[in-house]
Amino acid sequence: MRSSEKRHRLIFLLVLTAFGLSSIVGSSKPSSGPATVKYAIDSSRSKFMARAFAGGLLWFKGHDHHLVAKEFSGDVEVTPDSITPASLHFVVKADSLVETGEAFTPPQKEIINTELREIVFHPDRYPDITFQSTNVSAKPANAGGYDVKIHGNLTLHGATKPVTMPAHVTLQGNELRAVGEFNVDRDDFSVKATSAFHGLVRVRDTVKIMFDIVAHR
């Protein structure tokens, strides 16, 4: 660099310093916030469940349905010591949802599971039930951990709708746990709940989704 260029640069830096702007010079890298940590959901220790409240006829009247997902995956990203920024993504295989309600006999459960596939979820056309967060807020809970609200988009039966999932999140070592529940209206997702065969899956509009996620760093 020539001496005249050095003088011009020195004068420029002195002017910036006088106005408190010298921090913008000398580095092209933008400042970044705290790094997030990714956790993978442990499906062997986690649960995704749906409770559909009774609305059936004849011999199924009065029995709620308790569905459990047998196959799912996903990941969680959180910021240590504050949770946020954070994100949640999960995928549940629609054909892995099965009836576990104690009110039903094994033969009844077989019929219900067939109707879940052929009438309710149609996994041949809509194989995945997915959730992707768009915003997460958190605050420390009185009993420890964090009370979290997870806003995002739920895709079910080919329809995508915004939902909010309240959850309680705890971090211990390399393990994260999130427990919560939220309601969905099956009509929002064009999910039928009646059968031309037996009428076994006939429920109210509101379905409660419950989750107990364990994830490892």
Co-location of 6 and 103 in the same domain: no
For residues 76 and 191, which has the higher predicted lDDT (pLDDT)?
76
Task: Please report the pLDDT score of residue 60 as a whole number.
Answer: 47
Tell me how many degrees the CA angle 7-10-13 measures, rounded to the nearest 5. 150
pLDDT exceeds 50 at position 98: yes
User: Tell me, what's the pLDDT at 207?
Assistant: 87
* pLDDT value at residue 58: 41
- CATH number, position 123: 2.40.128.110
Longest distance between any two alpha carbons in the chain, whole Å: 96
Query: Are 21 and 91 found together in one domain?
Result: no
Q: Assess whether 15 and 74 both reside in one domain.
A: no
Contacts of residue 46, Cβ cutoff 8 Å, sequence gap at least 6: 72, 211, 212, 213, 214, 215
Residue 162 has pLDDT above 60, yes or no: yes
Confidence category of residue 200, pLDDT binned at 50, 70, 90: low
Residue 79 sits in the same domain as residue 127: yes
Mean pLDDT throughout 145-160?
96
Give this prediction's pTM: 0.78
Strands 72-79 and 128-140: unpaired
Give mean pLDDT, residues 166-172: 96
Tokens for 94, please give them.
């629609």
More confident residue, 10 or 55: 55
Which of 101, 99, 112 has its CA nearest to residue 69? 99
Give the model's pLDDT for residue 8: 54
- 26, 43: one domain: no
User: Is the pLDDT score of 44 beyond 70?
Assistant: yes
What is the pLDDT, as a whole number, of residue 120?
A: 86
Backbone angles phi, psi at 121, to 5 degrees: -95, -25
Q: If you average pLDDT over every residue of the chain, what do you get?
A: 83
Residue 61 reports pLDDT greater than 80: no
51/82 same-domain check: yes
The least confident of 16-30, 57-71, 75-89, 128-142 is 16-30
Number of domains making up the chain: 2
* Residue 57 reports pLDDT greater than 60: no
Going by the DSSP 8-state scheme, the letter that residue 8 receives in this structure is H
Same domain, 59 and 116: yes
Give the mean pLDDT of 105-131.
Answer: 92
Q: Residue 119's pLDDT is what? A: 84
Decide: residue 68, CB within 10 A, 0-12 exposed, 13-18 middle, 19+ buried: middle
Query: Do residue 23 and residue 119 come from a single domain?
Result: no
Contacts of 180 (CB under 8 A, 6+ apart): 148, 150, 165, 166, 167, 168, 210, 211
**Does residue 51 share a domain with residue 13?**
no
The stretch 85-94 carries a mean pLDDT of 97
Separation of alpha carbons 104 and 110, rounded Å: 10
Range of the structural domain that residue 189 is part of: 33-216
| pLDDT of residue 113 exceeding 60 | yes
Whether residue 162 sits in one domain with residue 207: yes
